[in-house]
Structure 1
């Protein structure tokens, strides 16, 4: 039996090196050599995010002090200018709480309850630690859930941090001592604390930069505490501590009660029970890495303004939801992540160069079936000039560009509908396919255009270039739709004109005229380009049906 595995000194965090190789390092190593690593890794993106937030909590609490907002910004600016972390403070903090980071401590194991047990002494199985997806398949699909016999101590530690943040809801094992248990079961209390959030992480060129870019220096940390600063928990819900008191508390919130079962240096089983329930409506200004939306129903119910975390939509590119990230709301209907607000202030204070590039990364989970299974995950990123966080005109340009892309996609979808009418077929499937095709075609074009936005960008020239790029891209897609529509659409048929008693001939030529007219309104073009309504040459339309 292995007696100790202290996460401060033992390797367990996956880091990526500049050559894209990976290795496991300890907490102390991750901080001391952060400049040598390009970032964190892990089995899945949400695991990486949960571990990074654990490191952020350490950095926040290690540097905790009462200070004004100006002092906090200047302190951060000094670390950024020196490209260094406050290692002396971090080391002292880790030394102070070293006994709380032992994964196998018999009395106070890291993020666990030492004597956790059920009335029947049954356990949960390692598959419960790693996550589940529909149809009983394993989320980490290179392994069969039924075949998991053991995990290394390092990997088990990673999944332990992850389960508190992102565990599914549903019935859990009923822990002895938890008054919420009924019939030996722990009934659903919701997902892990980060489950219903769309995380927004800012990445730099190294792990050091990433840790600094996400470090919102606290100004009054007297109440905020990480889990390892408080007395070890028991099986009961901590009713004296119903909501997180600050970011570090939130980043290490114990959504579950867990006990890892070790044998011969490996984790062979786990007991997973309900922990502290999350009240997402109480997390504003404590959670720094998510955007917020005003909730009318929750506000009416509470009798005060309530903001709920925004979630990410699987299959929807990050650039299609830029407004909650880039714009500081003026109507209080939406609040951008505190970390982006912090960096905007750093830029305004000239602590960040206007040419500084960052990568905004969105990570999250979509749950299904009452949040008891993982339906889909989100992991997308966008290289971004820091200037977009502080200059409204530049941010508005990017947001309007995304809207132009959506309007152009509607043009293509309408073309698909008209071609279906011309061919005498149902339009729904063709319309949906055209919608997806439009965004698939525009996606790389937008990312390339967006990456070139900077403090030196001339907005009119950039807007003109974007309209031209969208027009050219969607035009090509439209021409392909005309080719694929076949001979029946080329011949056409008489169709009713909506909201009138009249009819008209709808064929490929008419569909194309409508398409180009609407596309030109969506994307104004320069003189000399194709005029609205120009019909493609017959040689350009090759029937395939």
Structure 2
């Protein structure tokens, strides 16, 4: 068997989606040179695509933070003056964006110089791996495959693969899952040395993942390539991707937060080593890797692709920002404030995702205000203290970039206020449906969230359409903006009334007659007419009939 095999620059391993929605598999070099010809990544799932995207961003940043679009050396990290650094970073990005593809010479020059750092199998520096990981926990291929993530002692009954397909994977697929495991590995792996701290789940698995989405893969890579940290600051270090360094052999190592985008995107959360046999990967070895504090003020704010949360606590030491995982069942627009509003009454210290702040900075430079921009989020749910991956989902939101402007804060705030009203309306419908169930003979202790789920399902598409109306001349006309708010309130109120009417039409005769129910000392009368009366009163407090035609 060859000691060196499968160079990621030359061999096809990255799955990409063509504009006709057919799939191709490309080498890393071809993706960087031809990303403009492809719609998106097309790997096995959204989590894997996110891990691969972070690698592609790291490659782009490493190359073009050091040289300009012509390949001339001009490292952004060496510019001392902040304003000069900002101008150079935005100018560099704009030149690439206007070129509509990554220029060939700088990419080929870099890959020629660093070709030997991209061997998937190498006795000294296998890409993304550590030879010393061989002393770690040994797993079969079924645990490597993120679609099933099947451990040695827990067989997935309804796995989407079986037989040989679970026992071996090709080198190309293994490379994709290698990035996935490093990013999202659970906490089931055991330390080989006693007394070491737990690094927790893989760093990316701790995030509320968010990215910008372009009209092609090149644009997506570049939108998320934050040459300025949070769109406003210089990175503190020169680009330092993991492949340019010899692998770290030590286990579970606490490190400072990398202050360069490439180092952060290629953080080795795990020490891994793939097992191969006759052209296939049959499993891998794993040890815990690098980790750091997830406190934003300790440096974690350097992470650009996450939502942040600051839980309220009387203990000031606990009242800190940390990454906030997205919720599986929650549409992206329902968290509009956390993604897009920098300040808010009584919450002036909110910290927005770095990619959003970067795109906001670019909005004044490059984006056509008549073309919308899309963001994508991924929600990941672990089970039992992050001991295994339970489920994941993804969502997108399209808005016009002008809506991100700080000058549009009043409109952003009102949109967020409308989203809060939606939550109140969802609660009101939920209350109605639960009371109808009780009036019809149901258990007072068994409450469901069915009403809220129905409401959010019904308003999802209308709300997204409404949000896209905030652009152009509308934003400059207070009367037009006010009418948009009134139109949405009428629409939301009518949708809520339609859901209530359908629920009442389907209610039983007993619900009309009503009944007394509840625990001793807390019994009350439940009936459809009473529930309807109270629901409507509540709904019209949320959405008064202001602006309705007479």
Q: 1:427: how far off?
A: 4.3
Aligned counterparts of 2:252 and 2:497: Cα–Cα separation in 1: 59
Secondary structure of the residue aligned to 2:131 is coil
Q: Deviations over 1:25-55 (max 9, x none)?
A: 1111111111110011211111100110011
Structure 1 residues 427 and 206 mapped into 2: Cα distance closer, same or farther (>3 Å)?
farther
For 1:418-462, what per-residue CA distance to the aligned partner results, in whole angstroms no more than 9, with x for missing partners?
A: 434543533454552222222222222222322343233332122
Question: 120, 143, 153: which is aligned to 2:161?
Answer: 143
Residue 404 of structure 1 is matched in structure 2 by: 421
> What is the aligned residue count?
513
Q: Could you say which residue in structure 1 is the equivalent of 2:30?
A: 29
Contact kept, 8 Å, 2:143 with 2:150, in 1: the verdict is: no
8 Å Cα contact 2:58-2:266 kept in structure 1: yes
Confirm whether residue 168 of structure 1 aligns to residue 183 of structure 2.
no
Please state how far the C-alpha of 1:221 moved relative to its aligned partner: 5.5
Alignment match of 2:201 (pick from 191, 197, 209)? 191
Tell me the equivalent position of 2:506.
484
Aligned residue for 1:384, secondary structure, equals strand
CA distance in structure 2 between the partners assigned to 1:494 and 1:150 by the alignment? 62
1-structure distance, mates of 2:529, 2:252: 68
- Unmatched segments (≥5 aa) in structure 2: 66-75, 80-84, 229-233, 475-479
- Cα displacement (A) at 1:99: 1.0
Aligned residue among 252, 276, 298 for 2:290: 276
**2: CA distance, partners of 1:46 / 1:92:** 31
Deviation at 1:354, TM superposition (A): 1.3
Match of 1:247 in 2: 261
TM-score computed with the length of structure 1 as normaliser: 0.86
After superposition, give the CA deviation of every residue in 1:246-305 in whole Å (9 maximum; x if it has no partner): 221111111111111222211122112222234322443321111222356698448xx8
- Contact 2:440/2:511, CA 8 A, preserved across alignment: yes
The alignment status of 1:433 with 2:433, answered yes or no, reads: no
- Counterpart of 2:70? none
Distance 1:283 1:137, change over 3 A: farther
What RMSD in Å do the two structures reach over aligned CA positions? 3.0
> Which of 158, 173, 176 lines up with 1:158 in the alignment?
176
Query: Which of 96, 99, 121 is the aligned partner of 1:79?
Result: 96
Structure 1 residues 190, 430: CA separation in 2 closer, same or farther (over 3 Å shift)? closer
1:528 positional shift: 6.6
CA shift at 1:198, angstroms? 0.8
Measure, in 2, the Cα distance between the counterparts of 1:139 and 1:153.
Answer: 26
Asked if structure 1 preserves the Cα contact closer than 8 Å seen for 2:444 and 2:517, the reply is no
In structure 2, the residue matched to 1:511 is 531
- Which consecutive residues of structure 1, in runs of 5 or more, have no partner in the other structure? 175-179, 531-545
- Residue of 354, 366, 381 corresponding to 1:366: 381
Quick one: structure 1 residues 238 and 429, their matched pair in 2 at CA, closer, same or farther if it must change by over 3 Å? closer
Matched, 1:394 2:402: no
Counterpart mapping for 1:265-344 below 5 A:
265-281=279-295, 282-294=298-310, 300-301=316-317, 306-329=320-343, 331-344=347-360
1:447 aligns with 2:464: yes
Match of 1:413 among 430, 434, 453: 430
Q: Aligned pair 1:259/2:273, yes or no?
A: yes
Q: Does 1:208 align with 2:218?
A: yes
Distance 1:245 1:86 in 2: 26
Distance 2:99 2:423 in 1: 43
Does the 8 A contact of 2:293 with 2:300 survive in 1?
A: no
TM, length-normalised to structure 2 = 0.85
SS at match of 1:285: helix
SS at match of 2:101: coil
SS at match of 1:56: helix
Structure-2 change in CA distance of 1:31 and 1:236 (3 Å): same
Structure 2 match to 1:523:
543
Aligned counterparts of 2:155 and 2:463: Cα–Cα separation in 1 = 35
Structure 1 residues 85, 428: CA separation in 2 closer, same or farther (over 3 Å shift)? farther
Shift of 1:214: 0.8
Cα separation, partners in 2 of 1:112 and 1:519, compared to 1, 3 Å: same
Check the 8 A contact 2:210/2:305 in 1, yes or no: yes
Q: CA deviation at 1:106?
A: 2.0
8 Å Cα contact 2:121-2:127 kept in structure 1: yes
Q: Aligned pair in 2 of structure 1 residues 167, 505: CA closer, same or farther (>3 Å)?
A: closer
Structure 1 distance, partners of 2:511, 2:397, is 40
Shift of 1:147: 6.0
